[in-house]
Amino acid sequence: MAVVFDICGLTFTYDKTPILEDLKLEIEEGMFVGIIGPNGAGKSTLLRLLSKALSPQRGAILLEKTPLNKWSRGELARHLAVMGQERPQDLELTALEVVMLGRAPHQGRFGGETPQDYRVVEEAMVLTHAWDLALRPFSQLSGGEQQRVMLARALAQEPEVLLLDEPTAHLDLNYQLELLSQVQTLVLQKGITTIAVLHDLNLAASFCDKLVLLSRRGVLAAGLAGDVLTTDLIREAYGIGVQVSTNPLTGRPQVTPLPQGKRQDRFRVHIIGGGGAAASLYYPLLEAGFTLSTGVLNQGDTDWQVAKDLGIELVEIPAFSPIPEEAHQANLALIGQARAVVLADVPFGPGNLGNLKAASTIGPGRDLLLLRGRPLSQRDFTGGVATQLYTELLARGEIVEETDLVGRLIELDKTGS
């Protein structure tokens, strides 16, 4: 796939404050690329550098193998269009007249609009569902309608590259989805390479072919959404904890921020799960301020996936594998660091019996909470060994309903006993 933009060692500084330093990036043709990152990461600055509105202090930007500074303004305008956040100041312009402004790079100095200009403008407005707005004053349009008109104006330039600076800003969700759907369709139908600065990570994941995550004045990660939107990379870039799951409709990553700032620092809890029995416990306990660990979990298990998404410390082993001694010892170490241990409604077989044995090692001054669930006879596949171990744990622990678990742990945290 041909490279449209080749960015080499790009550096830009505002008033002696570095914004981008030694940035390297390639943008391939015919792709919808989302530029994401925290405020101040240089997203809009990068877009302005790509449009030649700014010039780098160091490094080079190649547009189709030609240095960007070698492109004349007229050549660039016929090749590249920018949909920024500015709006026409002339309040008397109709939507059609606003879109016609996009034909300026193709018109002579003294020539007026040609039939070809009108054909291109009409096609652009039809593609963006703005043709029915043609004769209405631009100033009287809603925010979503104005965005459609501005996108049509950019398309009227007949660009090969389209730059969008926060195209969904200040739009209701339905307009955001509509606009990005239109852009996605344009990329597919016309092969227009599109680079968009986006704030909403879920929208970026849903519509973009590739994501570029900016942080610390450079590219922290670039690639498919699943490779970029990870809990570790988002925490590093944004400084927040998130859950990253899979959107069941799109198959793309879905990011859910965890509560920030309002959590109390509570004690550490170790959760013994497996078979999906603990998945619903993790988030409420994190939200309540508890530090969590969990294990031993098989890779691919629902509990394993949710724990990974939430960034919970865990002991993991390959799918369908029994617990080896090394993992058992690691699990005991995590239990030793916990103030309380929670035993979920887990089915037990020979492979995970070690988790039940691990629960019995909890020492004095620590609490063992056993969630009420199905009778153990319905989830004991060890010939009665699990039932015997569980009966011994009942004498040392406390039975708790899942709905009461958070409250009970908070009580223990307050009393210290």
What proportion of the chain, given as a percentage, has pLDDT over 90? 62
Q: Counting Cβ atoms within 10 Å, is residue 73 exposed (0-12), middle (13-18) or buried (19+)? A: exposed
d(CA 183, CA 196): 10
Q: Look-up: residue for tokens 């030649």?
A: 52
Helices in 80-208 by DSSP H: which ranges?
95-100, 115-127, 143-156, 173-190, 201-207
pLDDT digits 0-9 by tens, 240-249: 778 888 887 8
Parallel, antiparallel or unpaired: strands 313-317 and 340-343: unpaired
CB 152 within 8 A of CB 130: yes
How far, CA to CA in Å, does 367 sit from each of 139, 362, 399?
A: 65, 8, 11
Widest distance between CA atoms in the chain: 94
pLDDT at 261 over 80: no
Nearest alpha carbon to residue 25 among 51, 55, 3, 42: 3
φ/ψ bin of 223: left (φ > 0), alpha (ψ from -120 to 50), beta (otherwise): left
Contacts of 263 (CB under 8 A, 6+ apart): 287, 288, 289
pLDDT digits 0-9 by tens, 132-158: 999 999 988 888 888 889 999 999 999
**Domains in the chain, start-ordered, CATH in brackets?**
3-256 (3.40.50.300), 268-415 (3.40.50.450)
Q: Any idea how long the chain is? A: 417
Report whether the peptide linkage leading into residue 296 is cis, meaning its omega lies within 30 degrees of zero. Answer: yes
Q: What is the pLDDT of residue 104?
A: 86
pLDDT digits 0-9 by tens, 202-250: 999 999 999 999 998 899 999 999 999 998 899 899 887 788 888 878 8
pLDDT at 374 over 90: no
